[in-house]
A = this chain, B = another copy of it.
Amino acid sequence: MLSTTEENYLKALLQLTMEDGLKPEAGTNELATHLGVKPATANDMLKKLREKKLIHYEKYGKSSLTTQGRKLAIDVVRKHRLWETFLYEKLGFSWDEVHEVAEQLEHIQSQKLIDSIDRLLHYPTYDPHGDVIPTASGEMKMPYRKTLLEEEVGHTCKMVGVKDNSATFLRYVDQLGLSMHNHIRILAHQPYDNILEIEVNGKKASVGQRFAENIIIVCDDCERKPAPKKRRKN
């Protein structure tokens, strides 16, 4: 059985090693910063998790999850996102309130509990922030995530997720009148300072780089690859 702290380190490592760049390892300082602890603290934990065969790590090297560790990390993420969905769908929480409480709930140890929540919600695929909920068997598809910043001028796109789950950011999104699955038109993009002019629900707004990087979209106008047909075994 893992401690809450150990679970948090695994989750952090998963998140850092599957960020956009798809870089497969994370540094000690990076991990420490992400978790809000000092590097020395993270260092101790890395050694401990290596002992438990949950991560690959060697002195002065980067860290990554073992198969075992990845499985456990995905399970924590699954619980987190199911709880977020529960709070949002069943209890009327707003999307900027769910993260904090889910940080606590994700550590409750009861397989039956999380399976029941999953059933109650009819096996949801996405959480309120548009993130994929891993399946009970530990599969977690990593969809390509294009951000608003990358969209071309003149195109319209649909918001399907956010990268930043902080209440501050999410409330700013709300404030702009933007919400999940809204369509956004890119009116202009000043390359010099990366300011975008966008139109949402008929209203214009200007947003900065940091904002645009944290909005995940699918392009309305782009070529769409046909969904690959599921091939049956033999």
Chain B residues in 8 Å Cβ range of A203? none
Stretch from A97-105, A152-160, A165-173 at the B interface: A97-105
Q: Distance (Å) between the CB of A109 and the closest chain B CB?
A: 7
CA distance A87 to B112 in the complex (A): 10
Contact at A116–B104, with CB atoms within 8 Å?
Answer: no
Q: Does A22 contact B (CB under 8 A)?
A: no
Interface pair A87/B113, CB less than 8 Å apart = yes
**Distance in Å from the Cβ of A116 to the closest Cβ of chain B?**
4
Q: Report if A109-B113 is in contact (Cβ < 8 Å); known contacts: A91-B120, A120-B91.
A: no
A100's closest neighbor in chain B, by CB? Answer: B110
Which A residues between 56 and 88 are near B, CB-CB below 8 angstroms?
A: 87
A101 to B105, alpha carbons, bound, how many Å? 12
A230 within 8 A of B: no
Instruction: Check B116–A93 contact: CB distance below 8 A.
Output: yes
**Alpha-carbon distance A116/B92, docked complex (angstroms):** 8
The answer to whether B116 touches A109, judged by C-beta atoms less than 8 angstroms apart, is no
Tell me, yes or no, whether A90 is within 8 Å of chain B by CB.
yes
Instruction: From the candidates B101, B108, B113, B120, name the one contacting A113 in the complex (CB within 8 A).
Output: B101
Inter-subunit contact A112/B90 (CB<8 Å): no
Q: Smallest CB-CB separation from A92: which chain B residue?
A: B116
Q: Which residues on the B side are within 8 Å of A109 (C-beta)? A: 104
Bound complex: CA A89 to CA B186 (Å):
49
State in angstroms the CA–CA spacing of A108 and B4 once bound together: 13
CA distance A49 to B116 in the complex (A): 37
* B117 lies within 8 A of A91 (CB): yes
Interchain CB contact under 8 A, A120 and B90: yes
- With a cutoff of 8 Å between Cβ atoms, the chain B residues found around residue A97 in the complex are 112
Complex formed: what's the CA distance from A101 to B115 in Å? 13
Residues of chain B within 8 A (CB-CB) of A104 are 108-110
Interchain residue pairs with CB less than 8 A apart (20):
A87-B113, A87-B116, A90-B120, A91-B113, A91-B116, A91-B117, A91-B120, A92-B116, A93-B112, A93-B116, A97-B112, A100-B110, A101-B108, A101-B110, A101-B112, A101-B113, A104-B108, A104-B109, A104-B110, A105-B108
